Amino acid sequence: MALSMMSKPCAGVRAAPARRSRATLSVRAEAVPENVKEAREWIGDWKESKAASANRASWFPGTELPAHLDGSMVGDFGFDPLNLGVDARKRSWYQQAELLNGRTAMMAVAGVLYKDLLGGLGVGGPAAEVEWFNAGAYTYFAPASALFGASLFPAAWAEIRRYQDIRMPGSVNQDPVFPNNVLSNPSTGYPGFDPLGYSKGADFETLKLKEIKNARLAMVAWAGFLAQAYCTGKGPLANLGDHLASPWTTTVWQNDLARLH
């Protein structure tokens, strides 16, 4: 009985901790500085990222830019309120879609303004006198169905090559008809239509930024053209003339309210 009581620790007396081997202590001593070093590096990277984010151009100064937009894409100003670009694969598709839609919008806006200008000057012929939103009803040199069908072939050819360029960048760098025309490692989607060779200059990156800015402006302008045509039944230059003739009574508010009533 006495021996059994002596073998057990007394109540309230804490047992002495087991001694750790020198090897265990040395391993832990070496691990601590390594962990601290990694933590310091992580904090340093985080501070650099915050500083770089603060110095970047923002679509709305003072807002915190999303973490998935690091400024590497052309025209990246941190605008993604719905977090659509969190997935890197989808983000690359959205980038190419914006580029294509922007280029299409620039051509469409230029075409509408050019037609309105010629029609206003009376030098564009009968086609220029038709409003752009009624251009499909105009009788051209061939039936509209034939013109639409003929346009599908070159459009499909261009879209297939563009899709191949997105899936396998650089796979369509060589012209299939003129093999001597070879692009020198361009970015996906660039240089696009470049008959004057601007992409070969030293300021190519600056030109890409200017293009995407103009593309975004053109997409907003095209949305405005659609709203104007719906509310007033006129083209953009006619609406501009009406507004300049009576700035206080011919505005977007009067046109929208008149349409709603």
Q: Can you give the pLDDT at residue 103?
A: 94
Q: What is the pTM of this model?
A: 0.71
Mean pLDDT of 90-99: 90
The residues spanned by each domain of the chain are: 89-233
Considering the four listed CATH numbers 3.90.180.10, 1.10.3460.10, 3.60.21.10, 3.50.50.60, the one that applies to the domain covering 89-233 is 1.10.3460.10
Mean pLDDT of 133-142: 81
Mean pLDDT of 240-249: 88
Instruction: Assess whether pLDDT exceeds 70 at residue 45.
Output: no
Q: Poorest-confidence range of 102-116, 170-184, 217-231, 239-253?
A: 170-184
Q: Poorest-confidence range of 93-97, 133-137, 144-148, 254-258?
A: 254-258
Q: Which residue has the higher pLDDT, 183 or 208?
A: 208
Taking only the tens place, the pLDDT of each residue in 114-125 is: 988 888 787 777
Taking only the tens place, the pLDDT of each residue in 215-234 is: 999 999 999 999 889 888 88
Q: Can you give the pLDDT at residue 104?
A: 93
Return the HEC string of the chain: CHHHHHHCCCCCCCCCCCCCCHHHHHHHHHHHHHHHHHHHHHHHHHHHHHHHHHHCCCCCCCCCCCCCCCCCCCCCCCCCCCCCCCCHHHHHHHHHHHHHHHHHHHHHHHHHHHHHHHHHHCCCCHHHHCCHHHHHHCCCCCCHHHHHHHHHHHHHHHHHHHHHHHHCCCCCCECCCCCCCECCCCCCCCCCCCCCCHHHCCCHHHHHHHHHHHHHHHHHHHHHHHHHHHHHCCCHHHHHHHHHHCCCCCCHHHHHHHHHC
Quote the tokens at residue 105: 């919008």
Q: Answer for the pair 221, 105: CB distance below 8 angstroms, yes or no.
A: yes
Q: Answer for the pair 106, 215: CB distance below 8 angstroms, yes or no.
A: yes
Between 204-232 and 88-121, two packed helices, what is the crossing angle to 10 degrees? 60
Instruction: Assess whether pLDDT exceeds 80 at residue 206.
Output: yes
Q: Which residue has the higher pLDDT, 217 or 133?
A: 217
Q: Can you give the pLDDT at residue 173?
A: 80
